[in-house]
A and B are shown apart, each in its own frame.
Chain A
């Protein structure tokens, strides 16, 4: 059911990685038992949190920058259609070709066709969320084309036949020892004496990748930003592997969600300050690549830009939820999220985990296809505080919960309970009766200060790990009225 989105198409089922096969509480239950995962994530997120806090703290106008980022994004979304057409014109004028993809299937078909036209059967890839979202690697594989991930963490995930669990550090759930094991098992010709020293691991990956960079005729990338007024695309990264892909091959295909653009070149000034400090906790990222169409005899001589909707227009139609499209994929919200830190990225079932995933995935797919995600948050608000473009994630979560509740055609037991409670809480006489009934619960405690530890469901969800105090004989308002004679 996608009725909530005014009938605009959401991301199709059966393709891409926006839906998990289990609900969040189910998947989290298993993840929480994985001590190694908890240790790896706890350590990694605490480290990045500390680095981010330090470099954000040294920018005196951080709050103004954030508000500028938010304002630019909001203004861009309000005229997204015009900016996209402008971008297409500029890219085309500079020798590139623009393709429009309604959804994941169309985008995969376009890219597969473009790769096939070059006659190659392998591509190198720059780390990209959009291509993960649409399941491009699987689509290429089905067409007999091998896609080699070149981002170190993405490579670890690919070699380990695993799934990414973080937007920026897809292998955050793995520690050095586990990475060494994956490399030893899967890298052809790797030094059998490989240790888990970070430098040694990086050198092994470098040797493995170097060969592919030199051989590749086609590269596929995503984009952090596209500048509508100039037709310039941008990728921001740390390793330089992206730069290799963006410059060496003959053909470059960039797959980009339609929300990634900014109107003017100057707007980059704001985001290139916000992004590195929020994501890796660096003042500036090591590599910022910018390219505009094709430059004769320099870099790729064929450039294709695939603009993907895949549910984004539907998100744009929701006046509360559309703010999720402002995301610049920095991962700060993941790193500060207490739920993400414990349950890990896989529990969210989508390539977009953490707080932003919990508001983006259900909107892209329609909330009924990811109905447990809006509830996967204690609404502590740490994400909102950390977000460099000030996305009010808690408010969107609450909004999506309501969208889910209001999409139900039958009355669930929960809805019945909440309606009854609403009736009581809006009528003082009924409310006092309800309070008196709740007070009867004290008899279950049989004179003890807490209720029994084993209560029937749904109370058991609380009492399995927490005592519940025995309700008092008299409420405060009752006692007060008695004493003050009102």
Chain B
């Protein structure tokens, strides 16, 4: 299958290794990966912060960039949820009905990584090897908007060498919430603290999830505490094999001093 990869603005700009891992994984599974060069953002941050009018041209750019794609995969539950639940709605509200229809059609062909692997490709064992103790945080939009359910866990359970430990109170929000993390920084931090306490209680080396944004928040907190537990995106774990352990997959936690 020819898969168009939507890296998402955050991954592309800040954690490119996550998009790289997604591409490597899909190619390893025998699919052709294309990366439409004009892609930017899904518009979620604008919509969720109240700038729904300003989100419309971003949606238009996204629809242009991916026009004609057979299947679109993104390593982010949150962005895929926005594509499914928000893009057409903001376009329609702005009176852009043709754009809304195109966005809705594109959304039907857009998948979050774990859903694409399990539902479309029908694989749970992707042939990965990752010899670490790992706990999984189900991010809110994957859990409640996309209903990915236990797909990521099924994928992780099939990874050789991986010791999966259950995260207590896993369904509790980590406190990221996009601009919430800065507009309500104190409350966000209080939520993060409880999430970190649960992560650390598992004694996992790695906390994984399907959203780089939540992981940047959780990982930023763990790193600030010099905790030694690091965050790694699900795609990076699934891309990892005995032959190809990328530097990011076995790296030190991001401690700066």
A422 to B62, CA, bound (A): 12
Binary B-proximity of A374-397 (CB < 8 A = 1, otherwise 0): 111111111011000000000000
**Chain B interface mostly helix, strand, loop or mixed?**
helix
Q: Is A94 an interface residue (CB 8 A)?
A: no
Q: Enumerate A99-155 residues with CB–CB distance to B below 8 Å.
A: none
Task: Identify B186's interface contact among A25, A414, A469, CB under 8 A.
Answer: A25
Binary B-proximity of A354-373 (CB < 8 A = 1, otherwise 0): 00000000000000000000
Are B37's CB and A477's CB within 8 A? Answer: yes
**Which of A200-208, A235-243, A445-453 faces chain B?**
A445-453
A385 to B178, CA, bound (A): 20
Are B37's CB and A481's CB within 8 A? Answer: yes
A336 to B226, CA, bound (A): 30
Binary B-proximity of A230-258 (CB < 8 A = 1, otherwise 0): 00000000000000000000000000000
Are B57's CB and A435's CB within 8 A? Answer: no
Are A382's CB and B60's CB within 8 A? Answer: no
A466 neighbours in B (Cβ, 8 Å): 181, 189, 192, 217, 220-221, 223-224
Determine the residue in chain B with the shortest Cβ distance to A468. B220
Determine the residue in chain B with the shortest Cβ distance to A471. B14
Are A378's CB and B140's CB within 8 A? Answer: yes
Are B191's CB and A450's CB within 8 A? Answer: no
A480 neighbours in B (Cβ, 8 Å): 23, 35
Are A476's CB and B185's CB within 8 A? Answer: no
Task: Identify A469's interface contact among B49, B61, B221, B254, CB under 8 A.
Answer: B254
Q: Enumerate A279-299 residues with CB–CB distance to B below 8 Å.
A: none
B224 neighbours in A (Cβ, 8 Å): 453, 465-467
Are B40's CB and A425's CB within 8 A? Answer: yes
Are B191's CB and A418's CB within 8 A? Answer: no
Q: Is A193 an interface residue (CB 8 A)?
A: no
Binary A-proximity of B197-214 (CB < 8 A = 1, otherwise 0): 000000000000000000
Are A405's CB and B51's CB within 8 A? Answer: yes
A436 to B56, CA, bound (A): 24
**Which of A80-88, A177-185, A327-335, A426-434 faces chain B?**
A426-434
Are B191's CB and A338's CB within 8 A? Answer: yes
Are A28's CB and B40's CB within 8 A? Answer: no
Chain A nearest CB from B155 CB (Å) reads 22
Task: Identify A380's interface contact among B7, B16, B140, B257, CB under 8 A.
Answer: B140
Q: Which of B15, B54, B187 has the most CB of A within 10 A?
A: B187
B43 neighbours in A (Cβ, 8 Å): 425
Known contacts A404-B50, A405-B51, A426-B57: A476-B223 contact under CB 8 Å: no
Task: Identify A426's interface contact among B16, B40, B145, B217, CB under 8 A.
Answer: B40
Are B12's CB and A476's CB within 8 A? Answer: yes
Are A405's CB and B50's CB within 8 A? Answer: yes
Task: Identify A401's interface contact among B37, B50, B143, B181, CB under 8 A.
Answer: B50
Determine the residue in chain A with the shortest Cβ distance to B252. A449
B255 neighbours in A (Cβ, 8 Å): 449-450
A453 to B58, CA, bound (A): 31
Interface residues on A, range: 35 or more
A398 neighbours in B (Cβ, 8 Å): 47-48, 50, 52
Chain A nearest CB from B192 CB (Å) reads 7
Binary B-proximity of A388-426 (CB < 8 A = 1, otherwise 0): 000000000010011111100000001100110111111
Are B185's CB and A462's CB within 8 A? Answer: yes
Known contacts A342-B187, A425-B58: A462-B51 contact under CB 8 Å: no
Are B175's CB and A378's CB within 8 A? Answer: yes
A479 to B9, CA, bound (A): 15
Binary A-proximity of B201-244 (CB < 8 A = 1, otherwise 0): 00000000000000011011101100000000000000000000
A358 to B208, CA, bound (A): 31
Determine the residue in chain A with the shortest Cβ distance to B33. A480
Are B13's CB and A471's CB within 8 A? Answer: yes
A477 to B87, CA, bound (A): 22
Chain B nearest CB from A337 CB (Å) reads 9
Task: Identify A427's interface contact among B61, B141, B143, B185, CB under 8 A.
Answer: B61
B9 neighbours in A (Cβ, 8 Å): 425
Q: Enumerate B50-109 residues with CB–CB distance to A below 8 Å.
A: 50-55, 57-58, 60-61, 65
Q: Is A72 an interface residue (CB 8 A)?
A: no
Are B14's CB and A380's CB within 8 A? Answer: no
Are B41's CB and A418's CB within 8 A? Answer: no
Are A25's CB and B187's CB within 8 A? Answer: yes
Task: Identify B40's interface contact among A25, A32, A384, A431, CB under 8 A.
Answer: A431
A4 neighbours in B (Cβ, 8 Å): none
Q: Which of A380, A398, A402, A481 has the most CB of B within 10 A?
A: A380
Are A418's CB and B192's CB within 8 A? Answer: no
Q: Is B188 an interface residue (CB 8 A)?
A: yes
Are A435's CB and B12's CB within 8 A? Answer: yes
Q: Is A47 an interface residue (CB 8 A)?
A: no
Are B7's CB and A476's CB within 8 A? Answer: yes
Q: Is A339 an interface residue (CB 8 A)?
A: yes
Chain A nearest CB from B46 CB (Å) reads 6
Are B48's CB and A378's CB within 8 A? Answer: no
A172 to B220, CA, bound (A): 33
Are A422's CB and B183's CB within 8 A? Answer: no
- 8 A-B pairs with CB atoms under 8 Å apart are A343-B190, A378-B188, A379-B180, A380-B140, A464-B189, A467-B219, A467-B223, A480-B23
The 4 closest A-B pairs by CB, nearest first: A378-B177, A466-B220, A401-B50, A426-B57
Extra contacts besides A380-B144, A402-B53, A448-B257 (11): CB < 8 Å:
A25-B186, A339-B187, A378-B177, A384-B144, A398-B50, A401-B50, A404-B50, A426-B61, A466-B217, A474-B16, A477-B19
Footprint of B on A, CB under 8 Å?
A: 24-25, 28-29, 32, 38, 338-339, 342-343, 374-382, 384-385, 398, 401-406, 414-415, 418-419, 421-428, 431, 435, 438-439, 445, 448-450, 453, 458, 461-462, 464-469, 471-472, 474-477, 479-481, 484, 486
